[in-house]
Structure 1
Amino acid sequence: MDERTLHQADRVLSVGTWLIVFGAVVYSVLTVTPLVRSVTPDGWEWTAPILPVVVDAAVVIVVRLDAALARVGGRAGGWPVLLRWMTGLMTLGLNTAGSWLEGDAVGVAVHAVAPLLLIVSSEASLAYRRALTAAVVQREAEQAAEKAAREQRQRDREQAERDREQRRIDTEERRAREEREHTARLAREEREHQASLAREQADREREREALRLEHERQAREQQAREAEQQRLAKEQAERERERHQAEERARREQQARARAQEAERRRQQLLAAGPAKVKQDEATARATVAAAFEADLSVRQAAELCGWSVGWVNSRYVELRDPLTGVAS
């Protein structure tokens, strides 16, 4: 049963109950007033409607308060029950008293309809209201549960959405952090690589510098060795040259002594041979002139030895002194 149906049922119950109460009150006032007037002293007949109105007012109060308590699910204890039954029985007694005093059973039955209907409708309406209130409470509880469930689902969806958003944010942050770490790692590796290259370059530079210094040292040592070798070779060559010069001087001196001795021997031979008695042939004369030249004889002595003229011998001496002149002539 939905909330609209519950409200419609409550409205029908309220309207029906109040119609019964209104009808019973009007009927009670019209029925009880003549009875009260008949037992009221003369001059006070105008107070006859007060009693049914008071009783009916009590009935209205009971019905109204029972409806209010039933709507909120409350219970007032035993006194409201006593008041409800007492007003109902009073209404029943007042409405049937006239017929009962006259001995009219049919009148009693007829006049008992409205009070009994009021009593039963009051109890029934109270039960209905409590049932409707319980249904409304149950419906409200169900609606509250549904609302709570919807709110919980909404919270769950919102929480799931927040979780998804948080996971997305966490994923993006993790991705950004990983990218930063990757970039930092690449930068660090690049710096380390550059530093390694710089160290390797520095090592190579040091090695090249060490090699250059070593080469320079070796070159200096080689130059020093070569200079020493050159010096030694030069000294050796100088000694060899001096030795060769000494040997050459000795050889030349020896040759000179040998030539001098030979020339002296030839001179002695030529001088011992004396002047030529006949003119020698040219070849012999040339040999004699050459021997005389080697023996350091004068031109005249050579001319006497070969028998040729002084001019011819002088020409041969000139040739012997300057071979180029002799070749040219």
Structure 2
Amino acid sequence: MNGVQVRSAERALSVGTWLIVGGAMLYSILTVTPLMSAHTPTAWAWTAPILPLVVDAAVVIVVRLDSVLARLGGHGGRWPIALRWMTGAMTLALNIADSALNKDLVGVAVHAVAPLLLIVTAETGLAYRRAITRAVTALEDKRQAERERRERAVREREEAARRERAEEREHAAALAREQREHEAQLTREQAEREERHRREEREQAAAHQRAEREARERREREREQQHREREQRERQDAEQAARQRRERAAAHEREQRERQEQAERERAELLAAGPAVEKQPEDRARQTVAAAFQAGLPVRSAADLCGWSTGWVSNRYQELRNHQPVVPRVLEGVSS
């Protein structure tokens, strides 16, 4: 129930209560005034309506204040209860007094209707208002809890976003710091290499000058010896490189042959498994279809081996025909 429905119910309760109170007050004044006139001196007969007005005013005060307290969720204590029942009893007594004195039971019953209805309406209206107040309070508490939950969720999301942004900033700063350190290290290494290169060049230049001063002939002999040794090393390196190439080619050929034999064995295992008892998983079914395609089996036989439909197997056969170079890789994947 929403707030509009609650207000509508309260409005209906208030209007109905005041209609009953107003009708009961008017009926009480009209009923009690003749009784008061008969028991009041003639000179003071004009004061006869005052007593029912006073009693009914007390009824109005009780009904009004009880409705306000019930709406606010408060409780007036014992005195409001005593006033409510006392005014109800007084109204009932004044209304039935004349009929009771005349021993008119029908009149007593008829004149008791309005006061009793007023008493019961006051108690019932109070109970209704308290129940509505409790329901409205519970509804507001639920809405407040829902609002707090949504606000807490929003705050948690914002806090998570802030933490994520802070982590991203820290990560970016760490990357930038590492980049700067790396660049500084590269710069130092480059400067060290250049310095070492210049020092080596100076040392080489000094050694070269000393060697020229010592003996040109010995340098020539050494150069010839170095030339012969270089030729010998180059020849040995060429022979070693050729031998290594031959060994790598032989190893690659053995590996290819072993891989092909392994693929052949696995294809034979797939084909030798016989018709599938149940539908194979798609990866296993694709391997079985590839093996059947390599073996040249018809579509129906491949469908029996994998447990899939002939239409699906026909589509796989068409894919394998369109991508013939892919088949060895598929079989290689099967062996791995």
- Normalising by the residue count of structure 2, what TM-score does the alignment of the two structures yield? 0.60
Matched, 1:192 2:189: yes
Structure 2 partner of 1:132: 132
Structure 2 partner of 1:144: 144
Q: Which whole-Å CA distance do the structure 2 matches of 1:150 and 1:96 have between them?
A: 61
TM-aligned CA deviation for residue 183 of structure 1: 4.1
TM-aligned CA deviation for residue 55 of structure 1: 0.4
Q: Which whole-Å CA distance do the structure 2 matches of 1:15 and 1:157 have between them?
A: 49
Contact map agreement 1:3 1:139 (CA 8 A) in 2 = no
Q: Which whole-Å CA distance do the structure 1 matches of 2:109 and 2:154 have between them?
A: 63
Q: Which whole-Å CA distance do the structure 2 matches of 1:99 and 1:154 have between them?
A: 72
Matched, 1:44 2:44: yes
Structure 1 partner of 2:23: 23
Structure 2 partner of 1:61: 61
Structure 1 partner of 2:84: 84
Segment drifting more, 80-89 vs 24-33 = 24-33
Aligned residue type for 1:167? E
TM-aligned CA deviation for residue 176 of structure 1: 4.7
Q: Which whole-Å CA distance do the structure 2 matches of 1:180 and 1:121 have between them?
A: 82
Q: Which whole-Å CA distance do the structure 2 matches of 1:164 and 1:78 have between them?
A: 57
Structure 1 partner of 2:108: 108
Structure 2 partner of 1:164: 161
TM-aligned CA deviation for residue 156 of structure 1: 3.0
The C-alpha deviation readout for 1:223-251, integer Å capped at 9, x for no partner, is: xxxxxxxxxxxxxxxxxxxxxxxxxxxxx
- Residues 227-306 of structure 1: matches in 2 within 5 Å? none
Aligned length: 217
Segment drifting more, 191-200 vs 163-172 = 163-172
Q: Which whole-Å CA distance do the structure 1 matches of 2:207 and 2:35 have between them?
A: 146
Structure 2 partner of 1:218: 214
TM-aligned CA deviation for residue 217 of structure 1: 6.0
Segment drifting more, 1-10 vs 176-185 = 176-185
Contact map agreement 1:96 1:111 (CA 8 A) in 2 = yes
SS of 1:43's equivalent in the other structure is helix
- Normalising by the residue count of structure 1, what TM-score does the alignment of the two structures yield? 0.61
Identity between Structure 1 and Structure 2 (%): 53
SS of 1:75's equivalent in the other structure is coil
TM-aligned CA deviation for residue 172 of structure 1: 4.7
SS of 2:42's equivalent in the other structure is coil
The C-alpha deviation readout for 1:238-291, integer Å capped at 9, x for no partner, is: xxxxxxxxxxxxxxxxxxxxxxxxxxxxxxxxxxxxxxxxxxxxxxxxxxxxxx
Q: Which whole-Å CA distance do the structure 2 matches of 1:29 and 1:143 have between them?
A: 47
Q: Which whole-Å CA distance do the structure 2 matches of 1:65 and 1:124 have between them?
A: 15
TM-aligned CA deviation for residue 202 of structure 1: 1.8
Corresponding residue to 1:201 among 198, 201, 204? 198
Contact map agreement 1:71 1:129 (CA 8 A) in 2 = yes
Structure 1 partner of 2:273: none
Structure 2 partner of 1:316: none
The C-alpha deviation readout for 1:176-226, integer Å capped at 9, x for no partner, is: 5314422431342133222222223223313423543x347637xx9xxxx
Structure 1: where are the runs of 5+ without partners?
223-329
The C-alpha deviation readout for 1:14-68, integer Å capped at 9, x for no partner, is: 1111111111111111111111111111211111111011101110111111111
Q: Which whole-Å CA distance do the structure 1 matches of 2:191 and 2:121 have between them?
A: 103
The C-alpha deviation readout for 1:108-147, integer Å capped at 9, x for no partner, is: 1111011000000000001001100111111111111122
Structure 2 partner of 1:174: 171
Whichever of the two has the greater Rg, that structure is 1
Q: Which whole-Å CA distance do the structure 2 matches of 1:169 and 1:75 have between them?
A: 54
Aligned residue type for 1:62? V
Q: Which whole-Å CA distance do the structure 2 matches of 1:152 and 1:16 have between them?
A: 44
Structure 1 partner of 2:118: 118
Q: Which whole-Å CA distance do the structure 1 matches of 2:152 and 2:161 have between them?
A: 17
